[in-house]
Structure 1
Amino acid sequence: MSKRVILHVGTPKTGTSYVQDVLYRNRTTLAAHGVLYPADRFDAQFLAALDLMRLPWGGLETEAVGEWKRLAGHVRRWPGTTIISHEILACATRAQAAQALADLGHPRTEVHVVVSARDLVRQIPAEWQENVKHRRTFTYTRFLRMIRDPERASQTASWFWGVQELPDILERWGAGLPPERIHVVTVPKPGAPHSLLWERFAATFGIGGLKLDLDVGRANPSLGAPETALLRRINVAVNALVKPADYRPLVRELLAHQTLSKRRKSPRLSVPPDVHAWAGELSQAWNKELDRRGYDIVGDLAELQPAPEAPTFSDPDHPRERQVNKAAVEAVRALLLENVRLREAEADLQRRLSETEAALRRSYLRPTYQLREKAVARLENGWVGSSVMKAYRRARGRSSPAA
C-alpha cells in the first residue's frame, strides 16, 4: 500500500503538459527515490482518467477500458509515494472522485489533492483555443455567450465550468479530506521566473530536492488571435473530410503546435472589456471562498486576480486578414515540407522493397533452390514424403506448401 498519494487533477492550461512530461521522463529517477509515476507510455494517465470517468474522446475511450483499474493496482502495490497527474480529472463528478480516492487506498492511505490554477482572463481564451484545436468551429463570440449563460445549458459551458470553477472542483475532490491535504498551486503572472511554476509543483509533490531533467520537449503552446482564427477556418473546411486520426498529427500537432505557435509577435488572445470585468468579479469571489476554506496555497491567491485590462482587444472573429494570410503561408510551407519528407520516406521504402524483391528473384534462380524445390515436389507425390512434409511444416508453425 502506498504511504502517500499525490493526485493532481488540473486545471487545464496551467503548465500541466510540462509537469507530466517532466514526471514521465524522470520516472526511473523518481522510482529510485521511492516515488512512483505510474505510466508505461506518456498518455497512460490520460487513458486511466478517461476510463475512470467513462468519457468519450474521439474513439480513444475504447483503448482506455481497464486502464484506471490497472493504474490503481500499481499504486496500491507501491510502498512509497505515488504521483498521478492529469487535467481532465478536474471534471470528475463527486461520485467519480470518491471512487478514485477509494481505489487509491483512501482513507488508509494519505491522499493529497493538488489543483493548479490560473486567472480566468487567461483561462477563458485558452479554453476556446483548445476547443478550436480539437476541431470545434464555433466563433469566440459564441463561446463567450455559452460560458456566460447562467443555465450552462451547452456541452461547451458544462465542460468549461467543470474544469475551471475552482471552488466546485476543490469541493468535489476534497470531500472527506482535511484542508491541509488540499493544495492550490497558483500560476505566476507573466514576467515571473520561468522555473517558478515548476518549483511550486516540485515542493507540493515533495520532490524539490531531486535532480531531475527539466529540459523536455512536449508542451501545449498557445496561439495568437490570427493563428486561432486561421485554425478555426481550416476546421470549417476539412472537418467533413479529415478523420480524427489524421487531424491530430497534421492539424493539431504539425500546424498548431509545431508551426503556428512559433509566431509570437502576433496579437494575443484576450477577452473584451465586459468579460474582463465579469471575470474579475468572479475571481474575487472565488479567492474569498478559497481563503475561507483554509486550503494550502502554494503561491499567492492574488495571482488568480486578473491583470488590468489591456488597452486594445484583438477580436479573433474579425482579425486583420493580412495577419491571417501570413499565418496561412506558414501553414502551407509546413505542409509542403511535411509532404516532401513523406515522399522521400516513401521513395526510400519503395527502393528497399525493390531491392528485396530483386534479392528474392535471384535466390529463386540459384541451383540449390531449384534442387530443394524438386526434392519437395518428389516428397509431396508420395504418402510417406507428404506426411514428413506436414510434420515439418507443423514444427515450423506454417501450413503453406512454400514452407
Structure 2
Amino acid sequence: MSRRVYLHVGAPKTGTTYVQDRLALNADALRRHRYAYPVGPHPDMFLAALDVVQRPWGGLRPQAEGEWAALVERTRRARGTVVLSHEILAGASPTEARNAMADLSFAEVHVVYSARDLARQVAAEWQEQLKHRRKVSFATFLRQLQESDPRRSHRWFWRVQGLPGVLDRWGHGLPPERIHLVTVPQPGAPYGALWRRFCTAVGMDPEWAPLDSERRNPSIGVAESTLIRKLNARLKKAGMASEDYRALVRQLVVHETLAHRPRMKPVTLPPEAFDWAEEITEGWEDWVRASGVDVIGDLEDLRPVRPAPGTRWHDPDDPKPRDVASAALDALEALALEAARRAEPPEPPLTRAARLARLLKR
C-alpha cells in the first residue's frame, strides 16, 4: 500500500494548536515535499473531528455533519503523505475510532498521539472545561478524577488523556511500529523541541515548514480561573447563547485578555496529589514499554515534576479577592471596549439638523 496517512489524535493541551497552525501556515511548502495537510475550506479540522466523536459541543454538532467524509475525500485525492490532526479525536469511542479508521483504509494509517505529564494536564484540562462553560471547582474536579478508574471511566478527561485507552482505541489492529507516542518536553526544553519530535513521528524534515506559528492555547491563573467559573454560573442563569459565549468570554475575555495578564499564579496540583499522579504515570510507562509502540522523546517527560520544597501552593478555589477583582476589571475593560467598537456611531449633528429641516419642509 503506497499511500500513507498520519492521524494525529491529540491529546488536548499538548501543543496541538501550535502544531496544527504550523502545518497550515506551511501547507504550500509541504506540498513541494509531497506532504499534504488538507484542511479544505476551514482553518483547521475541528468540525471533521467533531463529526467523528459525535458530541454536542455547544450547539456546533449540526455544522459538523458530513465534514469527516469531506476530509476523507480530500485525503483520498491528495498526493503523497497526508497528515490529519485534531485533539478531540482522542475522545472517540471504540466504535467511532474503528469507523474512522475504516474510512481511511485505502491508505497505510499511522496513529500519532502526543502526551504530557499528568500533573500539568489535570490543571490544564480543568481550565479548558471552564472555557467550555463548566463551573466545577478544582477540588471537585480533582476528586472526581482520583475516584474514577482511568481505563473504565467515561469522563472526558480520561477519554482524551488516558494514554493506554486512547492508543487501544485508535491503534486497535495496527502493528506497534505504526503507533507513535510523542512525549511533550518538560519546561526548560530547547525551543522547538516538540515540533521536531512531531516531525520525527510523521517522517518529515522540520525545515520543510519554515514559517513559525504564534498561535497558542494559553493557560490562565488561579484568580482568573475563579473569575471565569463564577461568571459561567451567572451566564448560565442569564441564558447566554453558546455562540455569544464563544466570542465574548472564551475568545475575548480568556484568550485575548486574561491569558496575557502578568504575574499570574499558576494552577497546579496540590502537593498531596502527586503520589496519585505518579502511580498512574508508572502504570502508563509500563504499558508503553510492553506494547512496543514507537516512542519519540523520553518517557521520563511524562513523570510529574514535584514543586521545590517550601513552594507555596495556591488553592485555585480560594484566591485573594483583590486578585479576582483585578482580573474582573481587565475583563470588564475588554468587554466595554468591544461594546463600543460594535455600537453604531452616533449620527453627526449636521446630519440630524439636515433631516429635521427636510421634515419641516413637508
The TM-score, its normalising length taken from structure 2, stands at 0.90
2:269 aligned residue = 271
Cα 1:188–1:209, aligned 2, differ >3 Å: closer, same or farther?
Answer: closer
SS at match of 2:155: helix
Instruction: List runs of 5+ in structure 1 lacking aligned partners.
Output: 362-403
Which moved further from structure 2: 332-341 or 185-194?
A: 332-341
Give yes or no for the alignment of 1:78 onto 2:75: no
**How far apart are 1:216 and its partner, in Å?**
2.6
- Cα distance in 1 for partners of 2:185, 2:28 equals 29
1:92 aligned residue = 92
2:146 aligned residue = 148
Q: Percent identity?
A: 47
1:192 aligned residue = 189
SS at match of 1:277: helix
1:67 aligned residue = 67
- Cα distance in 2 for partners of 1:72, 1:86 equals 14
Q: Specify the structure having the higher radius of gyration (Cα).
A: 1
Match of 1:282 among 280, 283, 293: 280
**Structure with a larger share of its residues in helix:** 1
SS at match of 1:256: helix
Q: What CA deviation, in whole Å up to 9, does each residue of 1:264-319 have, x standing for no partner? A: 41210001122211011110111111011111111100000001235222111111
Alignment of 1:320-335 (within 5 A): 320-335=320-335
SS at match of 1:261: helix
Alignment of 1:215-226 (within 5 A): 215-226=212-223
- Cα distance in 2 for partners of 1:323, 1:208 equals 45
Match of 1:204 among 197, 201, 204: 201
Q: Is residue 40–residue 74 contact of structure 2 (8 Å, CA) maintained in 1? A: no
- Cα distance in 2 for partners of 1:143, 1:322 equals 25
Q: Is residue 7–residue 112 contact of structure 2 (8 Å, CA) maintained in 1? A: yes
2:339 aligned residue = 339
Q: Is residue 224–residue 264 contact of structure 1 (8 Å, CA) maintained in 2? A: no
SS at match of 1:112: strand
1:370 aligned residue = none
**How far apart are 1:136 and its partner, in Å?**
0.6
Alignment of 1:10-49 (within 5 A): 10-49=10-49
Match of 1:116 among 96, 114, 117: 114
1:391 aligned residue = none
Cα 1:306–1:316, aligned 2, differ >3 Å: closer, same or farther?
Answer: same
SS at match of 1:111: strand
**How far apart are 1:171 and its partner, in Å?**
1.0
- Cα distance in 1 for partners of 2:297, 2:232 equals 38
SS at match of 2:114: strand
Cα 1:207–1:23, aligned 2, differ >3 Å: closer, same or farther?
Answer: same
**How far apart are 1:244 and its partner, in Å?**
0.8
Give yes or no for the alignment of 1:54 onto 2:79: no
Cα 1:308–1:32, aligned 2, differ >3 Å: closer, same or farther?
Answer: same
Matching residue's letter, 2:333: R
Instruction: List runs of 5+ in structure 2 lacking aligned partners.
Output: none
- Cα distance in 2 for partners of 1:207, 1:116 equals 16
- Cα distance in 2 for partners of 1:9, 1:142 equals 28
1:129 aligned residue = 127
Match of 1:301 among 296, 299, 312: 299
**How far apart are 1:193 and its partner, in Å?**
1.5
Q: Count matched residues.
A: 349
Q: RMSD across aligned C-alpha pairs, in angstroms?
A: 2.4
1:237 aligned residue = 234
Matching residue's letter, 2:204: I
SS at match of 2:223: helix
User: Would you identify which runs of 4 or more consecutive aligned residues in structure 1 move more than 3 Å?
Assistant: 41-44
The TM-score, its normalising length taken from structure 1, stands at 0.81
- Cα distance in 1 for partners of 2:142, 2:266 equals 17
Matching residue's letter, 2:45: Q
Q: Is residue 229–residue 317 contact of structure 1 (8 Å, CA) maintained in 2? A: yes
Matching residue's letter, 1:97: A
Kindly indicate whether structure 1 or structure 2 has the higher relative contact order, using CA contacts under 8 Å at least 6 residues apart: 2
1:259 aligned residue = 257
Q: What CA deviation, in whole Å up to 9, does each residue of 1:35-66 have, x standing for no partner? A: 11111244552111111222211121101111
Cα 1:190–1:44, aligned 2, differ >3 Å: closer, same or farther?
Answer: closer
- Cα distance in 2 for partners of 1:151, 1:302 equals 23
SS at match of 2:264: coil
1:4 aligned residue = 4
- Cα distance in 2 for partners of 1:176, 1:208 equals 28
**How far apart are 1:151 and its partner, in Å?**
6.1
2:156 aligned residue = 159
